């Protein structure tokens, strides 16, 4: 096969310079783009580090504030009076084998644990099945120098359908605010109707030197409460104790 001779034609000086310049320019543009991408990536990394630092600092501040700020119950002195006791059994629910003096002591012990866990000092008028008069109760409470007295009771009725929560007070100016706060804690937490606080002439209330109230938490004679209180779990008793604690906290938060 016949082949034409091959010739090499050197480019002109200007053309070669232009080609070299173009290649050099493209290289510089590529380097600049790569540098720009690297700078953007570095900026994003630094921004992420900065945001993480701010979040960590904020979390530490919140933790420090939580540790520094004591709860509303810290340092408070509270008398918890378990109603009835000993020869005074209180109301009863024969169908479910419930006696008020036992149930009030159960709730009072639970309330004591909750209050102490929040920093309060708790004084119990009774820790066992002892008989106490009203004078025994208020005299003991007055000796403690407590901030408040909460007497735990359960109501009773001949009607097994009757059931509501209420709080009694004796000294209008000193006790009523506590009674209102306790009832606000009990209702609607217990899921039963409420009766507004009302005055009751009890020696425990009238002769105690601190604000005092009697919490008639539930009707022990109610069939519905009988089932809850006797189910063996202690859930209803704990719920009552927690509702009372909420009411006590509400009282101390009020200016």
Query: Given a cut of 60, is residue 139 above it in pLDDT?
Result: yes
Lowest mean pLDDT across 6-20, 112-126, 182-196, 222-236: 6-20
Helices marked H in the chain = 13-68, 100-117, 134-144, 172-186, 203-206, 223-229, 235-253
* Residue 140 · residue 123 · CB < 8 Å: yes
pLDDT in tens, 181-235: 999 999 999 999 999 999 999 999 999 999 999 999 999 999 999 999 999 999 9
218 membership: H or E segment, kind and range = strand 212-219
- Please report the pLDDT score of residue 217 as a whole number: 99
Distance CA 146, CA 128 (A): 21
**Alpha-carbon distance 168 to 132, whole Å?**
20
Who has greater pLDDT, 142 or 63?
142
CB 156 within 8 A of CB 221: yes
CB 200 within 8 A of CB 214: yes
Which three-class secondary structure state does DSSP give residue 9?
A: coil
pTM: 0.75
Segment among 51-60, 69-78, 136-145, 159-168 with least mean pLDDT: 51-60
């Amino acid at each position: 096969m016949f082949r034409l001779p091959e010739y090499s034609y050197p480019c002109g000086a200007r053309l070669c310079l232009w080609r070299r310049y173009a290649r050099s320019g493209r290289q510089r543009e590529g380097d600049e783009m790569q540098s720009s991408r690297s700078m953007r990536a570095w900026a994003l990394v630094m921004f992420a580090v900065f945001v993480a630092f701010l979040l960590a600092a904020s979390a530490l501040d919140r933790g420090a504030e939580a540790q520094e700020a004591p709860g509303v119950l810290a340092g408070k002195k509270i008398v918890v009076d378990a109603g009835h006791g000993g020869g005074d059994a209180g109301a009863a629910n024969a169908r479910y084998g419930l006696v008020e003096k036992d149930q009030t002591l159960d709730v009072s012990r639970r309330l004591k644990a909750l209050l102490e866990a929040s920093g309060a000092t708790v004084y119990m008028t009774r820790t066992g099945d002892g008989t106490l008069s009203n004078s025994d109760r208020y005299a003991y409470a007055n000796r403690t120098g407590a901030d408040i007295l909460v007497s735990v009771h359960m109501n009773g009725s001949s009607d097994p359908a009757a059931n509501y929560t209420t709080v009694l007070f004796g000294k209008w100016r000193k006790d009523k605010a506590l009674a209102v706060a306790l009832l606000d804690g009990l209702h609607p937490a217990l899921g039963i109707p409420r009766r507004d606080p009302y005055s009751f002439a009890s020696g425990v209330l009238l002769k105690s030197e601190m604000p005092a109230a009697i919490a008639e938490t539930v009707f022990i004679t109610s069939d519905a409460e009988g089932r809850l209180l006797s189910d063996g779990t202690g859930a209803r008793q704990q719920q009552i104790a927690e509702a009372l604690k909420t009411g006590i906290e509400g009282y101390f938060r009020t200016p």
